Amino acid sequence: MSRNTVDTGAGTGTGAVEAEGATPRPGYGQLLRTPGAWTFLLPGFAARQPFAMLTIGIVLLVQHTTGSYGVAGAVAAVTGVSMALFAPQGGKLADRYGQRAVLVPGVMIHAASVAALVALTLTGAPLWALFAAALPTGASVPQIGPMVRSRWAALLGPAETPPGADPGSVSDADAGAGADSDAGADSGSGSGSGERGSSSLLPTAAAFESVTDEFTFVIGPVLATALCAGIHPAAGLIAEATLTLVGGLLFAAQRATEPRSDRHDRAAGSGSPRVSALSVSGVRVLAVALLGIGSVFGGMQVSLTAFAEEIGDPGVNGLLYGIFAAGNMLAGIVCGAVAWKIGPRRRLVVGYAVLTVAASALWTVHSVTLLAGLGLLVGLCIAPALITSYTLVESLVPASARTEAFTWLTGAVALGQAAAVTAAGQLADAYGSRAGFVVPLAGTALALATLVALRSRLAPKASGRVAARGMSHRVPVAVD
């Protein structure tokens, strides 16, 4: 049967009516009524602040003590590279041993490392000492976002998702030999037997998590900048470490919603063969693509800071970055409310193309008003790419490697951000803030080229597509 929908409501769960059955499309209200959701959402929100506050906090503190954006960017880059390299390993350990076993020691190490970095910076320690403190600071950043996404998948998805199967729907037009007529593939059509929740809510959960991530980018940089400017240059990092420690411990205490670990499944005799998320070619393509998103975040943070200094108004930095992040958040809200007729792979390519065009104009403007408007536009283009990337992961990897897969994507964003912070810092020191804005353009253009060339690898393998789980034969399914 056809799954085309008529969407007459803005994501409220009451407006979209299917061609057959009049099934309402799930929305944010239904998602947030999922039993147990709020127990991990609230502490998780506090604990995911490092990604929004850490880089800008380091840049502001180190630039204040050294007077160089290049040095500040280099220290921040060490943190970002360290996080990108160690985050997937932490995700793999969380899949294997459980989130709490990784999170509790991690947040403690992170708080101690941030304290050491602050003390060394304020005492004028040499650059190598700052690098030495930045390394464990980045490596210990808790991967709360991927852990929350894994909890959503455990609550809403099938009891067991085989490799290559799409947890959001059994009717996905990507099921063919790489065809891209997958309209509705990430909007789901209900849940089958054996599910613990409504798998049709998984795309809504992906959008909600992107909105939450971007909301932290709205308040995180603004909060860090305000604390650094109004209280002390180190106040932003101190607040970041405090939120991480308290929020992380509270999140780890929520055992009821924690996904079962691979070790637990194996002890119960139900574990599946261990698979590395990076062995899936589609995950590798998405990771490379999200380097471009990281280049936007890093390039905007440094270049906006340099621009604010050039015009003699450092406080406008937080405002401009907040507007940029607000655009991202608003786009995320809309993405979760739309019943898409365009397949996720096509949306990803189109989204990156629009993002590249928007980023290409950043270096041409030197006005607060114009930069705010253009930053808002760039922000509006980011959320669709992020949401679609995380949605595609659900159909590419088995549940036993899901947290690791999510951390590869967040790690890629961090790595792209680290490289962009370094490059933009050097360019801003040498040529001014306008040169720093070239970095987001270069990063998104390279990511777009990668997606165009390798987009076929983002299609789930047809061998993983079955219409009914637990049956020894396949049943043909209707596709759009």
pLDDT given for residue 397 in this prediction: 77
Contact 97, 83 (CB under 8 A): no
Q: Which two structure tokens, joined as six digits, stand for 252? A: 């780890």
pLDDT at 11 over 60: no
pLDDT at 234 over 50: yes
* pLDDT tier, 353 (very low <50, low <70, confident <90, very high otherwise): very high
Q: Is residue 20 part of a domain?
A: no
* Mean pLDDT of all residues in 6-22: 39
Contact 228, 105 (CB under 8 A): no
pLDDT at 425 over 70: yes
Give CA–CA dist 79/121, Å, rounded: 14
* pLDDT tier, 169 (very low <50, low <70, confident <90, very high otherwise): very low
Q: Which of 20-24, 45-49, 128-132, 270-274 bottoms out in mean pLDDT, i.e. has the lowest?
A: 20-24
Distance of CA 301 to the CA centre of its chain: 17
| CA atoms lying within 13 Å on the CB side of residue 45 | 13
Q: Is residue 35 part of a domain?
A: no
Q: Is residue 174 part of a domain?
A: yes
Listed ranges 104-118, 407-421, 443-457; the one with the highest mean pLDDT = 104-118
Amino acid 40 reads F
Q: Which residues touch 121 (CB under 8 Å, ≥6 apart)? A: 61, 62, 65, 130, 234
pLDDT given for residue 6 in this prediction: 37
Q: Which residues touch 198 (CB under 8 Å, ≥6 apart)? A: 26, 30, 156, 188, 190, 191
pLDDT given for residue 406 in this prediction: 81
Give CA–CA dist 287/407, Å, rounded: 10
Contact 474, 372 (CB under 8 A): no
pTM value is: 0.67
Q: Which tens digit of pLDDT belongs to each residue from 53-106?
A: 888 899 899 989 988 888 888 898 898 888 878 888 888 888 888 888 889 999
Q: Which of 139, 135, 120, 137 is nearest to 66 (CA)?
A: 120
The residue assigned the tokens 């629009």 is: 354
More confident residue, 106 or 218: 106
* Mean pLDDT of all residues in 17-38: 64
Q: Is residue 17 part of a domain?
A: no
CATH code: domain of residue 403: 1.20.1250.20
More confident residue, 162 or 444: 444
* Mean pLDDT of all residues in 295-311: 86
* Mean pLDDT of all residues in 131-147: 90
pLDDT given for residue 130 in this prediction: 94
Q: Which tens digit of pLDDT belongs to each residue from 316-336?
A: 887 887 788 788 878 878 876
* pLDDT tier, 475 (very low <50, low <70, confident <90, very high otherwise): very low
Q: Is residue 89 part of a domain?
A: yes
* Mean pLDDT of all residues in 162-185: 40
Q: Is residue 310 part of a domain?
A: yes
pLDDT given for residue 239 in this prediction: 92
pLDDT given for residue 426 in this prediction: 87
Q: Which residues touch 214 (CB under 8 Å, ≥6 apart)? A: 325, 326, 328, 329, 332, 379, 382, 383
Q: Which of 79-88, 151-160, 179-188, 191-200 bottoms out in mean pLDDT, i.e. has the lowest?
A: 179-188
Q: Is residue 408 part of a domain?
A: yes
Domain that holds residue 414: 40-262+275-464
pLDDT given for residue 104 in this prediction: 92
* pLDDT tier, 190 (very low <50, low <70, confident <90, very high otherwise): very low
Q: Which tens digit of pLDDT belongs to each residue from 430-444?
A: 888 888 889 999 999
The share of the chain scoring above pLDDT 90, in percent, equals 18
Give CA–CA dist 178/172, Å, rounded: 11
**C-alpha R_g of the chain:** 22
For the chain, what is the domain count? Answer: 1
Q: Is residue 334 part of a domain?
A: yes
Amino acid 154 reads A
